[in-house]
Amino acid sequence: MNVEELLIQQSMEYKPQGRDLLVKCINPDHDDSNPSMRIDGITGIFQCFACATKGNIFTHFGEKANQLQIRRELLKRKLYEKQAESIGLALPQSLSMYEGSWRNIRPETYKKFQAFESSDPDYIGRIVFPIIDLTGKIRAFIGRHTTQGTPKYKVTPPKAKLPFYPKVEPINGHILLVEGIFDVLNLHDKGLTNAICSFGTKTISEDKLRMLSIQGVDTVDIFLDGDTAGQDAAKIVENTCDSAELLHRNIYLKGTDPGELSQAQVDGLKKKLYK
C-alpha cells in the first residue's frame, strides 16, 4: 500500500502539491478549514504547518508501509533529479506529438512548443510540454489536464526549478512577461512571439531577470491578469526589475487574462506596444 492508496482507504481528500499531498490536518483539536497538512507522497511523513502536528501517516493509521517500495521510489526520485541537473531529461518513449487545437490554439503552435501526449502514468489525460533551458536541456515537463483532473498542472520532477520559458528574441529590446504556459501559448499563437512565462510570479527572481539582459533584453513588459491579485503581483515584479537594473512597464488591461485574448485583441496590443 502506498500513501495515496492509504488516504483513499481512509476517505481522506487530498490535493497533490509537488512531491507532497495536501490534506486537512488530522489533529482533532485543529479545525483545519483551509488544508495545511503536507504528506510526503513516498514516505508518508507529515507535518501541519499551522499547528505543527508531525508524524507518519502509516503509523497513524496502524498500517505497515512497504519499505522496499519506499526505498525504490526515493532512489528513483533522487536519480531523476540528478539527471535533470546534469544532462537534462529525456523525452518519454511512449509519446505521440499533440496534433489538436485545444483552447483554440493552432496545431502549429503546439508543434512549435513540442507538445505531446503519453501513456506514462505522470502524463495520462494531459498535454505535456518539455521545459527547455538556455543550454537546450530539458529541465522538466509540465502537463496540463484537459478535463477536470487534479492537479490541473503537474510538474515532473516535482519542485523542479523552472526557467523563464521559452527562449525568445526580444522585440526592440522588449520581452513580454506573463505568468502561465497557456498565456504564453496564446500570445505566440496570435503573433506576440516575444512572450515568456514565469510559471507563477513567486518564481521571479533578480538573478533570473538579470539573465534576460544577457539575451539582449533591456525592458520587461509585465503582462499579468487584470484583476487585483494580478496587479498586486505586477508591483512586486516591478520592484524586482528595479533591483535587476532592467527597465519595465506594466501592461494593464482591466479584467483580462492573457491566455484568453482573441486574435483581434492581440493584434491591437502588438500594434500599441511595438509599433
Q: Residue 233 sits in a domain of what CATH number?
A: 3.40.1360.10
Is residue 178 domain-shared with residue 151, that is, in the same domain? no
Is residue 17 domain-shared with residue 48, that is, in the same domain? yes
pTM of the complete model: 0.72
Q: Residue 29 sits in a domain of what CATH number?
A: 3.90.580.10
- 504556459: which residue's cell? 181
End-to-end CA distance of the chain: 60
Q: What is the pLDDT of residue 193?
A: 97
- 477536470: which residue's cell? 148
Q: Checking phi first, is residue 184 left (phi over 0); if not, alpha (psi -120 to 50) or beta?
A: alpha
65: helix, coil or strand?
A: coil
Chain segment 12-54, per-residue pLDDT in tens: 999 887 678 999 999 999 999 888 999 998 899 999 988 999 9
Average pLDDT for 92-108: 94
**Position 228 in a domain:** yes
Q: What is the pLDDT of residue 11?
A: 93
Chain segment 218-247, per-residue pLDDT in tens: 999 999 999 999 999 999 999 999 999 999
Kindly give the pairing relationship between strand 153-156 and strand 138-145. Answer: antiparallel
Is residue 41 domain-shared with residue 119, that is, in the same domain? no
Q: What is the pLDDT of residue 81?
A: 64
**Position 70 in a domain:** no
Q: What is the pLDDT of residue 121?
A: 80
Cβ 124 vs Cβ 146: under 8 Å:
no
Is residue 192 domain-shared with residue 149, that is, in the same domain? no
Is residue 210 domain-shared with residue 264, that is, in the same domain? yes
Q: What is the pLDDT of residue 235?
A: 96
As beta bridge partners, residue 221 has: 176, 249
Residue 85 pLDDT > 70: no
| Angle, helices 206-214/228-243, rounded to nearest 10 degrees | 70
Measure CA 129 to chain center.
Answer: 11
Residue 87 pLDDT > 80: no
Domain extent at residue 10: 3-60
